[in-house]
Amino acid sequence: MGWWKSYAGDERFSSSTLTVLIGIFAVLWLLWPIKKQRKAAVPPLPPGPRGLPIVGYLPFIGTELHIKFEQLCGLYGPIYKVWFANKLCIVISSPLLVKEVVRDQDAVFSNRDVNKAILAITYGGVDIAFSPNGPNWKMLRKMFVREMLSASNLDTTFTLRREEMKSLAKAKEEGKTKTGKKDFLQVLLEIREQNNGAYSISMTQLKAVLVDIVVGASDTITTMSEWVMARLMKHSETMRKVHEELTEIVGMDNLVEESHLPKLQYLDAVIKETFRLHPPFPFLVPRTPSESRIIGGYHVPKGSSIFVNVWAIQRNSMYWDNPLEFIPERFLNDGYGRVDYSGNNFKYFPFGSGRRICAGLTLGERTLKYILASFLHSFEWKLPQGSEIDVSDTYGVVTKKKNPTVAIPTPRLSKSELYTE
Ligand code: HEM
């Protein structure tokens, strides 16, 4: 108290200090209700599990993120938050809220959440998948979808796919792949050389787009081929129906051509049902809002990471009957409304939705169906004696089978030349 007495004795100090203090109190007193009102106007963050200081919820997520996120959805509802260290992640798991993010507020939620590893792989994020929603992304995407993956380009590149498919079915001599058709690299180089104003791309952008094609196409298509084969070997009656359809549409003395694909409706339903249970990207490719928004009545801050939980939605009994059962027939009638890969049905969107929907959808869908139809038409598939199909999965860049499928093919077609020509 000695210090106070010495100051209080100073008359100049006591009167001026008092005036200042009273002023501060008066301002705070006046501002307090306004602050309270403003606070009330900003809704709270979504609910979510408590984590530890600094690391947040990281120590508790384990390795199977898709299963953990589905469990948390059961506890906290269709929108919740999880802190991974200082990164705020918002997980969305209902069709209604997905629509808000990818349709109603699509422009704000169409940026990707990029980290240093992604920047390194994608030449600084100049590719299609990780470019911010802006002119560079628009130009690359337009070039990719309209020029490279146009219907006519896909038709002309079929010869390349057929060569590859044949080479899988028989021992192929080296150097036989010259078909005279342009592959995607040649198409890209041509577009770059033309430099006609509509698409002006640098060599770095060209390399980044090639990375998108390799990453986007290879793991997704191979993983899905394995899932479909595994499901068919587990469900022998479904396999029988697929073979029956192939026999009828393609015939036992022909190989599958892409022109057969639109007629293979049952196989189509089998593939759709497999995508429902095993979407390769369980949370799509995470997005980040360019400004703070309200979703489902909660505050979703700018820069947070948005996980759209397609895996949980496609397995939820609120939206699907017997959701964990493999029933391709559900896609043959319209009981679930129109269900395709266009991303317009927010109960089913394995290729994503909105303006950032998969840019390689047409190629992915067509190639996957062609590979599967060819494998299934050309061979009978049997499991090695004593083994069983296990359909558990494991989380990764792409969600794969936990244990690989081993199957033994035996030729099925009537003419042996079909395997050797
Ligand atoms: C089984 C096949 C495939 C599946 C299931 C798949 C799935 C997806 C998903 C879920 C997204 C994120 C969509 C979103 O955020 O809404 C995506 C984006 C993308 N995919 Fe695919 N994909 C497949 C095949 C392909 C293929 C064959 C290519 C290229 C040839 C490709 C290229 C891309 C690109 C470039 C993007 C980024 C689009 C953008 O950000 O604008 N994908 N894909």
Domain positions in the chain are 58-419
Whole-angstrom CA distances from 416 to 150, 245, 252, 255 are 36, 21, 11, 12
Helix (H, G, I), strand (E, B) or coil at 288: strand
C-beta 82 within 6 A of ligand 1: no
d(CA 224, CA 102): 24
Does residue 287 have a pLDDT over 60? yes
Q: Ligand 1 mean position to 350 CA, how many Å? A: 9
C-beta 67 within 6 A of ligand 1: no
Which own/partner pairs from 168-173 qualify as long-range (CB within 8 Å, at least 24 positions apart)? 168/374, 169/374, 169/378, 169/419, 170/419, 170/420, 170/421
Q: Which pLDDT value is given to residue 33?
A: 61
Does residue 251 have a pLDDT over 70? yes
Residues 81, 333: contact at Cβ < 8 Å?
Answer: no
C-beta 356 within 6 A of ligand 1: yes
Q: What is the DSSP string of 51-108?
A: -BTTTBTGGGS-S-HHHHHHHHHHHH-SEEEEEETTEEEEEE-SHHHHHIIIIITTTT
Q: Is 73 annotated as a binding residue?
A: no
CB crowding 381-416: b at 16 or more within 10 Å, else e: beeeeeeebebebebeebbbbeeebebeeeebbeee
d(CA 35, CA 24): 16
ipTM above 0.85, yes or no: yes
pLDDT digits (tens, 9 = 90+) for 385-406: 999 999 999 999 899 999 998 9
Does residue 268 have a pLDDT over 90? yes
C-beta 376 within 6 A of ligand 1: no
Residues 227, 278: contact at Cβ < 8 Å?
Answer: yes
Predicted confidence band at 366 (pLDDT cuts at 50, 70, 90)?
Answer: very high
Q: Ligand 1 mean position to 388 CA, how many Å? A: 32
Does residue 229 have a pLDDT over 80? yes
0.80 surpassed by pTM: yes
C-beta 103 within 6 A of ligand 1: no
Predicted confidence band at 336 (pLDDT cuts at 50, 70, 90)?
Answer: low
Does residue 29 have a pLDDT over 50? yes
Indicate the top mutation candidate among 351, 357, 371 to test ligand 1's pocket, ranked by most ligand atoms within 8 A of CB: 351
C-beta 69 within 6 A of ligand 1: no
Closest C-alpha to ligand 1, atom 18 = 358
CATH classification number, 58-419, choose in 3.40.630.30, 1.10.300.10, 1.10.630.10, 1.10.3720.10: 1.10.630.10
C-alpha dihedral sign at 333, 361, 310, 400? positive
Instruction: Please report, rounded to a whole number, the percentage of residues in the chain having pLDDT higher than 70.
Output: 87
- Give the mean model confidence (pLDDT) for residues 361-390: 94
